[in-house]
Chains A and B, each alone.
Chain A
Amino acid sequence: MKRKNLENMFNLIDDDILEEASPIKPQKAITSKFRLLQIATIAACLILTLNIAITIPLLLMKGNDFNGGGKGGSLDKDENKQFEVIELPNLTDKENPSDKEDPTDKEDPTDKDEDDKVEKPQNVTNIQINVPGKPSNIITLTSPLLGAPSEYDKIVALMKDKIGSFGGSYGELDGALDEEIEDSSSNKNEQDSEYKETTDNQVAGVIEGDIIKRSGSYIYYLSGSTLKIYPMKGIGSTLLEQFSISDYISEIEKVLDIKIGKESKALRPIERPITPIFPDLTPDFDVMPDIDIIEPDFVEEIPNYSYVEEMFLSVDCKTVTIVVQHQIYMTRQDGSTYKGEIMVPYTSLISLSVEDPNNVYLKNITTLSGTYESARLVDGEFLVFTRFAPRTEELIIPQYNDGEGFKHIPIEQIYSPSVYKNSTYLLAFRMDEDTSEILDLGAIASFDGEIYVTNENIYVTRQYRDELKEEVEKYPLINSSGIIEGFGTKYNVYALTVTEILKIEYSSGRFLPVGTAKVNGYIKDRYSLSENDGYLYVVTTDQRVLTRTEYDEGDIGAEEDWVGFRNTTSASIFIVDIATMENVSCVERFASVGETVRSVRFDGYTAYVCTAIEVTDPVFFFNLENVNNITYSDTGTIPGFSTQLIQLNNGELLGIGVDENGYVKIETYRLGENGAVLVVDTYLIKGSYSLDYKSHFINRENGLIGLGIKNDALSDSERYVMLQYKNGYFSLVFDCVLRGANESKRAVYDEKYGFFYLVSNNDFAVLLPVGKVQK
């Protein structure tokens, strides 16, 4: 292994390990008391309204269709000549209502009873705050922590004060558009409940989270820890409401930030499971017996950390559920065996009522163990997946809280594979979308890979190294008299990366692991998996390392020959029968040696695979209809590669990636009459784009493709580009300034009125094609 490998390796150490070992800790976080004081001070002082003027250029398109731009080429400014740039009126950021105390909010007489209830449960770590229905209802802390009533009182008071105190008003609209749009917006019964999908979900009906969601009348955008609501009123639309959940996050952190040890009522030592859950993964070497380790008397606290991940909008458009990830650093204080910081991850689902966008309020908070992996919304139920890595004995069995306190997941609900490859669990929770009630839960030990969810099944993966012994040749065995006595076999022995896929059925209402399949190679992401017509398609990068050559010489004895490291990658596709989870067909190593899978997309029986070595790629089209006869063709080597492949309605494929010069490359492909894959059209844009697929706008019906583009650090180079693909050609719809990170940029197209709405962390803009008239 080269020195360079050694240096690279240390760059790949997981961040939590680096933090753990960091000799210099960051500045201490504000203590809880200070934080409360700070919140109170801010709340008391925040009377000022912040008027932040944001100027956003508005591009008006000429012509009645979208064929405004030039075909192909980079987007220089000259290409925008056909667009007239005007400026929107200044948008005013409203005061953050979450920082505002409502003086009219009086204590509910029933609060006292509820507060009394808070003291009863003792041994819990998670919280669940139920506020069903209306803003005037009481928050009930059903799972208090710390056994310190004063802490609960503070939380109850804080939560209660927030309820119902978030007013807002519509922004002003210009001219003749006002009346009509105001009318359509105010008629909430007709439009608010009309859920419109903004996310290009991998599986139809299996809704994925995102930072943007919309109803018929409103756009909901998650900017950090703030939910922003914009009415879709065309030109002049402005921020209607913003609701910050940062105070809730702080309080959740505080509640979860407990001390571990004898005094802790929250984390109990576990009863030993019947059979060991994990084998001893520690390498077999002696612990130094002659060293008396003295633990430090003081360990500097590491600040807790929370991160807002994504959100969901309920299909009735009444509830927004925001997913927040917490990293809570706990200090063990029993002093007997261990002293120091450990990080325990939690995931919170914070549900807000948005039934009346002028009056957003907290509905409930549910906190689950584990690092957030992903979630889906299927038929009114959440499937939430978190990852749980045991750090101490107390935490070796995953926990959950169903609102009645902290519990370990029952052993019968932990799926235990026959072989453990790592010490993590994947936790799966099925929850009611409206009440957040946990309907089912389970833990899958040792699976830590991708999660792919269909309407009936969940597939989870894990990846590990296996050994593959491949016969190379037969050779004669010659005795001392020079006579051939037989033949020996020469083998190449590879360390092979394999992926194991576990199928879990959930359509019966219970998580039911039913079987696993194993395929050679590793998968890039969940888009490498697709269920269709009773089969699971899997695309992998086949990675095998030749570790040694073995000679089988029968009685004479075996010889091992270390041949060193040889790494050869390629790509493979497998078909697995989901009834038996057996591999029924495959095409192994179809790509050239050294190539890895860069992107995969499935459309029914068709698989699209982009592989690449550095900056050249072939795109493969597979026909999987006949499992016994998989056919495929490819483009041959073309410049650049696609990081995302998107199937279009007409059987064509859209690739988003980079070309050999580093330009953003938007390209379409189709199967030619001679069976070869052809490049149909290419559009190049100077700049960089987001690798987050959800940040792209894909509207197949109208052939619209939108993405955030950034040229360099200059703010005016932060743009949003909308293209239309029609009749085999790309054309520019608009290219306008939209500040902010590409990952934060989202677009919404209102087909009814023809407006484009662009949102980012920094900007909000509305674009109206010229010639389209508001009804």
Chain B
Amino acid sequence: MDDSKIVNLFLKRDEEALKEAEKQYGRLCHYIANNILNSPLDAQECVNDTLLRAWNSIPPAKPKRLGAYLSKIARNLAIDKYKAEKSQKRSKNKDALPLDELEGCLSGTDSLIDEAILKDFINSFLRSLTKEKRIVFVQRYFYNASVSEIAKSNDLTENNVKVMLLRLRNVFSEYIKKYGL
């Protein structure tokens, strides 16, 4: 079933929507959550919460790309859970999030930046990259994929991915300065 049909089911408040969304994107959401939480059980809980949140938000939301929509929800829920667990020092995930690698790119400013600027910035940055580099960057910092997973899914060596990510971080840092953020 394609996205438009599933979204239509959501709009009609048909519970079949949840089944279809789970069938279509459950694995993706689980993958995202598990990469952050490093716990299949917690990740499954996140998937359930993702579907519930989608149920409560569609309508009024009417996403054209349901996969991306659910991915963002799943990621946010997992990060919230990760932070909560970390603050209570009961995180099963001892590793830092890949996003932490980008902290070095940040400048010293501390204001919250308007969403329109951030959206413009990140998308123009990503679209300025070649497709391969864009995929690697997004897989690492949005999907929180490990270097080995990225290497495998893009037919690269792990070393290639590491070098590519290092250079991409430098470019990202330059882009931030160029953009005035």
Contact = CB atoms under 8 A, between A and B. Distances in A.
Contact of B179 (A14, A24, A465, A710): A465
Contact of A22 (B3, B128, B143): B143
B181 A565 contact: yes
A376 B58 CA distance: 28
A402 B170 CA distance: 47
Interface string B59-103: 110111101110110011001000000000000000000010011
Nearest to A544: B180
Nearest to A12: B119
Contacts of B25: 26
Contacts of A285: 167, 170-171
Contacts of B148: none
Contact of A713 (B8, B56, B107): B56
A7 B79 CA distance: 9
A14 B134 CA distance: 12
A693 to B, nearest CB: 14
A693 B103 CA distance: 41
B28 to A, nearest CB: 4
A691 B79 CA distance: 29
Contacts of A224: 4, 8
Interface in A556-570: 562, 564-567, 569
A197 to B, nearest CB: 25
A1 B106 contact: yes
Interface stretch (A265-273, A601-609, A618-626, A736-744): A736-744
Contacts of A11: 72, 75-76
Contacts of A276: none
Most chain A beta-carbon neighbours within 10 Å: one of B2, B25, B56, B139: B2
A304 B174 CA distance: 37
Interface in B30-81: 31, 55-56, 59-60, 62-65, 67-69, 71-72, 75-76, 79
B111 A566 contact: yes
A547 interface: yes
Nearest to B145: A23
Nearest to B161: A291
Contacts of A688: 60
A204 interface: no
Interface string A563-585: 01111010000000000000000
Interface stretch (A39-47, A158-166, A292-300): A292-300
B180 A545 contact: yes
Contacts of A307: 4, 64
Given A303-B2, A567-B113, A15 B68 contact: yes
Nearest to A3: B103
Interface in A1-23: 1-23
B102 A741 contact: no
Contacts of B62: 741, 743
Interface string A735-754: 00001111110000000000
Contacts of B69: 15
Contacts of A15: 63-65, 68-69
A713 B76 CA distance: 23
Most chain B beta-carbon neighbours within 10 Å: one of A9, A12, A710, A740: A9
Interface string A719-733: 000000000000000
Contact of A690 (B28, B60, B75, B175): B60
Interface string A228-241: 00000000000000
A295 B111 contact: no
Given A11-B72, A13-B126, A569 B114 contact: yes
Contacts of A24: 27-28, 31
Given A2-B110, A5-B113, A22 B28 contact: yes
Most chain A beta-carbon neighbours within 10 Å: one of B24, B60, B128: B60
B114 A17 contact: no
Contacts of B129: 282-283
Interface residues of A, number: 77
A48 interface: no
B19 interface: no
A305 B68 CA distance: 14
A55 interface: no
Nearest to A286: B167
B107 A565 contact: yes
Contacts of A12: 115, 118-119, 122-123
B167 A288 contact: yes
A306 B135 CA distance: 24
Contacts of B109: 1-2, 564-565
Nearest to B178: A283
Contacts of A10: 75, 99, 122, 141-142
Given A22-B71, A27-B23, A713 B64 contact: no
A17 B27 CA distance: 19
A718 B64 CA distance: 23
Contacts of B55: 713
Contacts of B56: 713
Given A12-B122, A23-B149, A423-B127, A743 B60 contact: yes
A612 interface: no
A346 to B, nearest CB: 14
Contacts of A422: 124
A12 B120 CA distance: 9
A7 B176 CA distance: 15
A741 B153 contact: no
Nearest to A1: B106
Contacts of A8: 113, 115, 118
A283 B12 contact: no
Contact of B108 (A283, A564, A567): A564
Contacts of B114: 543, 567, 569
Given A9-B118, A303-B2, A565-B181, A21 B134 contact: yes
A17 B171 CA distance: 18
A22 B12 contact: no
A281 B110 CA distance: 29
Nearest to B10: A741
B91 to A, nearest CB: 17
A1 B176 contact: yes
B111 A23 contact: no
B145 to A, nearest CB: 6
Contacts of A484: none
Nearest to B126: A17
Contacts of A330: none
A715 B59 CA distance: 12
A29 interface: yes
Interface in B156-180: 156-157, 160, 163-164, 167, 170-171, 174-176, 179-180
The 6 A-B residue pairs with the shortest CB-CB distance, nearest first, are: A565-B109, A495-B180, A15-B68, A741-B59, A21-B138, A12-B119
Given A8-B118, A11-B76, A23-B153, 9 more contacts: A12-B115, A15-B65, A17-B126, A287-B130, A291-B163, A293-B160, A562-B107, A743-B62, A762-B12
Interface of A: 1-24, 26-27, 29, 224, 281-283, 285-288, 291, 293-296, 303-307, 338, 340, 422-423, 463, 465, 495, 497, 522, 543, 545, 547, 562, 564-567, 569, 688, 690-691, 710, 713, 715, 739-744, 761-762
24 contacts: A5-B113, A10-B141, A12-B115, A13-B122, A13-B126, A17-B126, A18-B68, A18-B142, A21-B142, A23-B139, A26-B25, A282-B128, A285-B171, A286-B167, A288-B163, A305-B65, A423-B127, A545-B180, A562-B107, A713-B55, A713-B56, A741-B11, A742-B60, A762-B12
